[in-house]
Structure 1
Amino acid sequence: MDLNPATVEEAQQHQPLLKRKPIKRSVIQKALKKMFTGSGHLSNLLPTGTVLTFQFLSPLFTNRGHCTPLNRDWATGLVAVAGVLCFVLCFTDSFRDEKGKVRYGLATKKGLWVFDSKAAAKLSPEVASTYRLRFIDFVHAFMSILVFSAIVLFDQNVMSCFYPTPSEERKELFKSLPIWIGISCTVLFVIVPTKRHGIGFPLSST
């Protein structure tokens, strides 16, 4: 007996949908997923503007690795200033006001001190307190200094300036130390992640 196509289609629509079975993951799979997620947020450890400025000025300040005593002083100052900025900017945060404009502030014990006074007037004390200074900020700042140190060790101009003829032991140390710093900071960032968006850190559109 032939069935009406419309009747067949209607019967299929009333059939219960197949339920998707939940995927069971092992403990190792869950740990790896968490590790990869934390690695994706590793860029939050450093203010991109500070790092890009350091990489841009490094060849100029070090004379492309052929340093004079004056160049060495300039390179020292560049590394010191960039390192301090990486540390301090970890205590900054950003948010979007009612008009959707990004506003920046500095985390304090009482809350967020907004640089823009007009935005500060619109930020209620309850909302500002959610941005208050926490212990995780100091951990994040310490990791930021470590990652920046790894970037300095990878910079051939800076290393040639301070160590023009390094020994074989130092060469191996300079090659392996940044890798261990990256691994350690990735693990720490997975264990103690931060949700703070400072100056130079990515901020979502929402």
Structure 2
Amino acid sequence: MPRPLNLGKVSAASLANLLPTGTVLAAEALLPSFTNSGDCAPANKYLTLGVIVCCSLACFLSSFTDSFTGKDGRIYYGIAIWKDFWVFNDVDNEDGAGREEKHNREKLAITSIDFVHAFTSLTVFLVFAMSDSNVQQCLKINKDGVNEKALLINLPLGAWLLASLLFMLFPTTRKGIGYADTAPVKFDQGGEATARSNKESV
């Protein structure tokens, strides 16, 4: 018998982590200067496109980041790859606490849900970036028609709501970089993933 869908798994705090809030804020802080408030020279166009591309990559890849607690009690951050998990901060990789826990790290490998979250976050960010008036003027995006104006005004809100719905329908257990209010996965002696209490954070 299939399990009932639990929409309560994704709280408001979780949505703030899943949605590209930080990336949007970073872009909003940089774009007015890089676009020269819409009065773009060729250099401004390249800078604007560079910001959008870099933020898009950060937004997409952040959906694959995760963390776990090693045998030494430290929190290890990394990114999911094919059938494995690449750890960022395992300086002492001879202690068996990070890179050597291969049978555990395989549990954090890429899944199909990761791609749903990654493409959804990327779409939301691009919608917000292209809805910025300075970006529209700089990249000569046509917004003269009534339909175009209505679409550009309402599309960001619609994208945000649709993304929130998708994140609730397809929740993720990843607790990557930026998840300050949640604890990473802890592996017990048998290699099973268990919840990690906030008191164990280091």
What's the TM-score, normalizing by structure 2?
Answer: 0.73
Distance between the aligned counterparts of 1:141 and 1:51, measured in 2? 15
SS of aligned partner of 2:63 = helix
Closer, same or farther in 2 for the Cα pair 1:102/1:49, shift >3 Å?
farther
| 1:122 alignment partner AA | A
Corresponding residue number in structure 2 for 1:116: 89
Q: What is the Cα deviation at residue 133 of structure 1?
A: 1.0
- Which range moves more in the overlay, 184-193 or 33-42? 33-42
Distance between the aligned counterparts of 1:101 and 1:36, measured in 2? 26
Q: 1:133 aligns with which of 110, 120, 127?
A: 110
Corresponding residue number in structure 1 for 2:162: 184
Match status 1:42 vs 2:19: no
Corresponding residue number in structure 1 for 2:195: none
What's the TM-score, normalizing by structure 1?
Answer: 0.71
Distance between the aligned counterparts of 2:21 and 2:143, measured in 1? 30
Q: What is the Cα deviation at residue 148 of structure 1?
A: 0.6
Question: Are the counterparts in 2 of residues 48 and 200 from structure 1 also a CA contact under 8 Å?
Answer: no
Question: CA-to-partner distance for each residue in 1:63-105, whole Å, 9 max, x for gaps?
Answer: 1222222212211111111111211221111234456544211
- What is the aligned residue count? 176
Q: What is the Cα deviation at residue 39 of structure 1?
A: 5.0
Match status 1:159 vs 2:159: no
Query: After the TM superposition, which segments of 4 or more aligned residues of structure 1 sit over 6 Å from their partners?
Result: none
Corresponding residue number in structure 2 for 1:149: 126
Closer, same or farther in 2 for the Cα pair 1:183/1:53, shift >3 Å?
closer
